[in-house]
C-alpha cells in the first residue's frame, strides 16, 4: 500500500463527502481519502500462524493450539518446498520402536529432524503403523523448522487420554 498526495483537487473521499487530500494505492487500485480516513499504517501481512488458522490447520486440545501436519505440508509447498526424504535410523520390530530422520530441502535451505514412535507414545489405533507414525513426526518437525513455526504439530503428540 502506498499513500500519496492527491493531484486532483476535485476528488471526494470514498468514505465521506469531504475533499480527498490523499490517494491510497493498494493492489493496483487508487482510493481518494480525506485526512480523517487516511490509513495510519499499512495493513500487516498475515503471519504463518494466521494463514494456518485461516485455512483450518490449527487444532485446539485442552486449551492449547497445535498445527496439523497437512497445514505444514501445504504451507511448505507455498513457500518453496523442493524435496522431502527420510531414512530409518533405528528399528526394533520386537519392541515396536522406530526412529526416522527426515530431510526437507527448499528455497529456505536444507533441514533435518528426527521423529520416533513406540507403544509408550503411540495410540493403540495406530500402533501397527508405528514406522509411518515415526516418519510423520519426523517430517512434521522438519517442516516446522523449514517454515520457522514454533508451534508443536498435533501428530508429534502422544495419544490424548480421556478427561474424567
In the chain, what are the domain boundaries? 2-33, 48-156
What is the rounded CA–CA span in Å between residue 8 and residue 23?
10
Given pLDDT bands bounded at 50, 70 and 90, which one contains residue 163? very low
Contact 147, 76 (CB under 8 A): yes
Q: What is the CB neighbour count within 10 angstroms for residue 56?
A: 10
pLDDT for residue 44: 79
Q: What is the CB neighbour count within 10 angstroms for residue 66?
A: 16
48-156 carries CATH number 3.30.160.20: yes
pLDDT tens column, 33-92? 998 998 887 667 889 999 999 999 999 999 999 999 999 999 999 999 999 999 999 999
pLDDT for residue 95: 97
What is the rounded CA–CA span in Å between residue 53 and residue 44?
16
pLDDT tens column, 98-127? 999 999 999 999 999 999 999 999 999 999
- Identify which of 99, 103, 90, 88 has the alpha carbon closest to the alpha carbon of residue 139: 103
**DSSP string of 25-56, one letter each residue:** EETTEEEEE-TTTS-SSPPPPPPHHHHHHHTT
Given pLDDT bands bounded at 50, 70 and 90, which one contains residue 8? confident
Mean of the pLDDT values across residues 134-158?
A: 97
Amino acid at each position: 500500500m502506498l499513500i500519496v498526495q492527491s493531484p486532483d483537487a476535485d476528488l471526494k473521499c470514498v468514505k465521506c463527502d469531504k475533499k480527498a487530500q490523499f490517494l491510497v494505492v493498494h493492489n493496483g487500485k487508487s482510493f481518494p481519502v480525506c485526512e480523517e480516513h487516511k490509513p495510519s499504517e499499512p495493513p500487516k501481512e498475515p503471519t504463518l500462524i494466521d494463514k494456518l488458522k485461516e485455512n483450518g490447520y490449527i487444532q485446539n486440545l485442552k486449551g492449547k493450539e497445535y498445527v496439523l501436519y497437512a497445514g505444514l505440508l501445504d504451507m511448505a509447498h507455498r513457500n518453496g518446498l523442493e524435496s522431502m526424504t527420510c531414512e530409518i535410523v533405528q528399528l526394533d520390530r520386537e519392541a515396536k520402536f522406530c526412529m526416522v530422520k527426515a530431510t526437507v530441502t527448499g528455497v529456505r535451505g536444507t533441514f533435518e529432524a528426527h521423529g520416533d514412535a513406540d507403544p509408550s507414545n503411540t495410540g493403540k489405533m495406530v500402533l501397527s503403523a508405528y514406522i509411518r507414525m515415526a516418519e510423520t513426526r519426523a517430517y512434521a518437525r522438519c517442516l516446522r523448522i523449514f517454515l520457522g513455526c514454533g508451534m508443536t504439530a498435533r501428530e508429534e503428540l502422544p495419544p490424548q487420554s480421556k478427561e474424567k
